[in-house]
């Protein structure tokens, strides 16, 4: 059991390292660790994941803020609808969804199963986007007019999706900021981390009262992840970004296959 917990906390370190290097992806790793290593129920793991990622990402936010990389105007317009949606989903919508949803070929589809399978599908899509070769690059402009209704709509949709799964959603927010809002990549990563940090903590606040929280365990896991953030920031200066992206993509695909196996076959 101690060996299993050792690997669990090693996973916590990995969550922080990934956040420190890539600015996203931490929560999508944290949920399987909570579920399969520490044997916490999937719905509770989504709450734990929000806290860990929110607290850990806040460290990176301070660093990026000092460098002037956070686009506060975009962050506020995008984040407010995302905050409200995540809080509403965690506080009011998820608690009223029944534990048992429907039956498919003698398989009872529960709320926990739905969340984990949806997470696995998300991991597959995310991994494929990281592994495919891109022939063109998006050119971001420093001066342009923002489409505020589009930013609000994107905030609502991503808030809904990440609220259900209990993830930060940086891997969804960054492409949105670059492709639709035309932020430069460095600003997109920094602004995404700002949105993820606050959105995750507000989402966790919506869970208070819905689950019994093991605060001692949660703080320990978070502290290890925060240490991983600093380690990831340090390592980012020495690691090739493209190679790291492919490695992370393969890792996500491997974990997604494992989630499908444990949820649908095992």
DSSP letters, 115-140, are HHHHHHHHHHHHHHHHHS-----PPP
For residue 220, what pLDDT is reported?
A: 94
The pLDDT > 70 percentage for the chain reads 92
Cβ-Cβ contacts under 8 Å for 171 (sequence gap 6 or more): 24, 25, 28, 126
The pLDDT > 90 percentage for the chain reads 10
Smallest Cα–Cα separation from 194: which of 176, 175, 174, 164?
Answer: 174
Task: Classify each residue of 185-211 as buried b or exposed e, where b means 16 or more C-beta atoms within 10 Å of its C-beta.
Answer: eebbbbbbbbbbbbbbbbbbbbbeeeb
DSSP state of 158: H
For residue 221, what pLDDT is reported?
A: 94
Instruction: State yes or no: pLDDT of 224 exceeds 90.
Output: yes
- C-alpha angle 192-234-169 in degrees, rounded to nearest 5: 20
| Alpha-carbon span 130 to 107, nearest angstrom | 32
Report the SS3 class of residue 109.
strand
| Mean pLDDT of the region 9-14 | 90
Instruction: State yes or no: pLDDT of 115 exceeds 70.
Output: yes
- Reported as a pLDDT band with limits 50, 70 and 90, residue 203 is confident
């Amino acid at each position: 059991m101690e060996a299993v917990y050792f690997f669990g906390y090693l996973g916590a370190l990995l969550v922080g390292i990934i956040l420190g290097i890539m600015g996203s992806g931490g929560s999508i790793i944290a949920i399987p660790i909570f579920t399969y290593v520490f044997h916490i129920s999937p719905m509770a793991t989504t709450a734990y994941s929000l806290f860990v990622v929110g607290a850990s990402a806040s460290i990176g936010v301070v660093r990026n803020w000092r460098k002037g990389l956070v686009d506060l105007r975009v962050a506020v317009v995008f984040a407010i609808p995302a905050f409200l949606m995540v809080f509403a989903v965690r506080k009011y919508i998820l608690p009223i969804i029944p534990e048992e949803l429907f039956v498919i070929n003698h398989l009872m589809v529960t709320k926990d199963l739905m969340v984990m399978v949806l997470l696995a599908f998300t991991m597959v899509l995310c991994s494929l986007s990281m592994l495919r070769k891109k022939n063109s690059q998006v050119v971001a402009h420093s001066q342009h007019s923002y489409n505020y209704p589009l930013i609000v709509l994107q905030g609502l949709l991503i808030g809904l999706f990440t609220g259900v799964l209990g993830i930060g959603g940086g891997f969804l927010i960054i492409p949105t900021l670059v492709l639709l809002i035309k932020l430069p990549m460095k600003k997109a990563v920094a602004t995404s981390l700002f949105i993820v940090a606050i959105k995750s903590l507000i989402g966790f606040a919506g869970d208070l009262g819905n689950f019994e929280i093991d605060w001692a365990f949660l703080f320990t896991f978070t502290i290890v992840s925060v240490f991983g953030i600093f380690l990831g920031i340090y390592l980012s200066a020495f690691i090739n970004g493209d190679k790291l992206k492919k490695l992370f993509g393969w890792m996500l695909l491997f974990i997604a296959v494992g989630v499908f196996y444990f949820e649908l076959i095992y």
